[in-house]
């Protein structure tokens, strides 16, 4: 799986191409900034992803800033390895977009899940209970949707991400 290329002004590999992505819909609920890109990709903004993982916004920002820095630190090696094992290869973990005068870093759903998994299980002493609880809640919801789809039954009301995560999330 390859996520859409990011629109930006500096040089890219010619094979990558550029998609003119926009934001189809966007909202913020209890500090969880989220939306859907014009190609249908769900995303969280940087603060929303940090809140979901139970870490400071700066930790997610550091992942983005050091994504292509060599040598890679263990955190990035692990995150990239998990993405790679799922067939996801990225030049950046986010897609930089503009909404009016605002710059938005949109972290696509596959990246969000991998970063959440990292903080839930692979961060050593920096593992977060919030991340673990939120990952379990989201995984349980995905299993419920899968089973309902297989037996052609409607899925019960879908709670908002903030409802799923509110029990473990603490403001920073």
Q: Which residue has the tokens 């979901």?
A: 52
Q: Which of 149, 123, 147, 125 is nearest to 135 (CA)?
A: 123
What's the pLDDT at 13? Answer: 44
pLDDT in tens, 147-170: 888 998 887 765 555 455 544 444
Helices 46-53 and 129-150, packing angle to 10 deg: 100
- The Cα–Cα gap between 128 and 119 comes to 6
Q: Which of 156, 146, 126, 137 is nearest to 52 (CA)?
A: 137
Cα dihedral 162/168/169/172 (nearest 10): 180
pLDDT in tens, 69-92: 999 999 999 999 999 998 998 999
- The Cα–Cα gap between 165 and 130 comes to 8
What's the pLDDT at 6? Answer: 46
Q: Taking the CB of residue 68, how many other CB atoms lie within 10 A of it?
A: 10
pLDDT in tens, 44-63: 999 999 999 999 999 999 99
pLDDT in tens, 81-139: 999 998 998 999 999 998 788 888 999 999 999 999 999 999 999 999 999 999 999 99
């Amino acid at each position: 799986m390859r996520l859409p290329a990011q629109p930006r002004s500096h040089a890219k590999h010619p094979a990558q191409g550029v998609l003119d992505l926009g934001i189809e819909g966007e909202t913020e609920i209890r500090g969880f900034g989220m939306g859907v890109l014009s190609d249908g990709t769900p995303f969280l903004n940087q603060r929303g992803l940090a809140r979901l993982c139970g870490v400071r916004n700066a930790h997610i920002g550091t992942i983005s800033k050091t994504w292509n820095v060599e040598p890679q630190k263990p955190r990035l090696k692990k995150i990239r390895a998990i993405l790679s094992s799922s067939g996801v290869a990225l030049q950046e973990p986010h897609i930089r977009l503009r909404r009016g005068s605002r710059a938005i870093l949109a972290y696509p759903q596959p990246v969000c899940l991998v970063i959440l998994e990292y903080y839930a299980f692979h961060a050593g002493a920096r593992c977060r209970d919030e991340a673990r609880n939120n990952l379990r809640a989201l995984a349980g919801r995905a299993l419920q949707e899968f089973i309902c789809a297989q037996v052609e039954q409607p899925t019960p009301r879908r709670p908002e991400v903030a409802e799923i995560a509110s029990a473990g999330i603490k403001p920073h």
